[in-house]
């Protein structure tokens, strides 16, 4: 089990005792996934939150014309999931797959709820994550509605500086809402 990165992320927000850390680790499952392997597909119910140890995941939807719209990338140290599916046990409206071979930790919704009771500091940790994700989502929505494509690309570069060289251009184009051809034009 490789929980160190997660425990480090938690420690940036809350201080856990050794026993609390052991409890958190005991509830995690480790999984290795190959590039392009799905963790979640549309209409499935998400059972686990995914924390990336290494590699990169992405979440996306596919419109009626078969066009992918990437919502999020999750490099090492990030969480990813369909919150509506996970928390409300509703069929997902998105896909989550691996952009590259990845190692992840899984935390079930039931175990997360158990942690809220057993280690109240974990409820604070996840609340802070949710607030941060909501702020990021709002910023991205405003950018997509009001910024030209070149500025959306620059914002992407700031948000995901470690991924800019490793991601396929078509994924970056999908994330900022342009075609790969147009991305090539604006990036020179």
Angstrom distances, CA of residue 65 to CA of 61, 148, 177: 11, 24, 15
Q: Tell me the mean pLDDT in the region 151-159.
A: 92
What is residue 165's predicted lDDT score, i.e. its pLDDT? 87
**pTM for the model:** 0.93
Q: Residue ranges of the domains in the chain?
A: 4-129, 147-188
149: its two tokens: 């494509």
Between CA 51 and CA 157 the distance in angstroms is 22
Q: Quick one: fold of 4-129?
A: Jelly Rolls (2.60.120)
| Per-residue pLDDT reduced to its tens digit, 8-55 | 999 999 999 999 999 999 999 999 999 999 999 999 999 999 999 999
Q: Find how far residue 13's CA is from the centre of its chain.
A: 18
What is residue 2's predicted lDDT score, i.e. its pLDDT? 86
What is residue 162's predicted lDDT score, i.e. its pLDDT? 86
What is residue 60's predicted lDDT score, i.e. its pLDDT? 97
Those residues whose C-beta lies under 8 Å from the C-beta of residue 127, and which sit 6 or more positions away, are none
């Amino acid at each position: 089990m490789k929980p160190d990165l997660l425990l480090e992320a938690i420690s940036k927000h809350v201080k856990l005792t050794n026993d609390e850390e052991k409890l958190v680790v005991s509830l995690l499952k480790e999984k290795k996934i190959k590039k392009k392997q799905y963790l979640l597909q549309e209409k499935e119910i998400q059972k686990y939150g995914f924390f990336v140890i290494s590699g990169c995941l992405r979440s996306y939807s596919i419109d009626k014309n078969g066009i992918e719209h990437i919502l999020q990338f999750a490099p090492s140290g990030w969480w990813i999931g369909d919150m509506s599916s996970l928390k409300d046990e509703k069929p997902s409206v998105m896909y989550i797959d691996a952009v590259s071979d990845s190692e992840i930790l899984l935390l079930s919704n039931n175990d997360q709820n158990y942690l809220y009771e057993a280690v109240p500091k974990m409820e604070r940790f996840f609340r802070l994550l949710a607030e941060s994700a909501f702020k990021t989502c709002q910023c991205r929505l405003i950018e997509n509605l009001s910024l030209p494509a070149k500025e959306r690309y620059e914002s992407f570069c700031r948000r995901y500086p470690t991924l800019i060289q490793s991601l396929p251009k078509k994924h970056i184009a999908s994330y900022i809402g342009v075609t790969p051809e147009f991305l090539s034009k604006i990036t020179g």
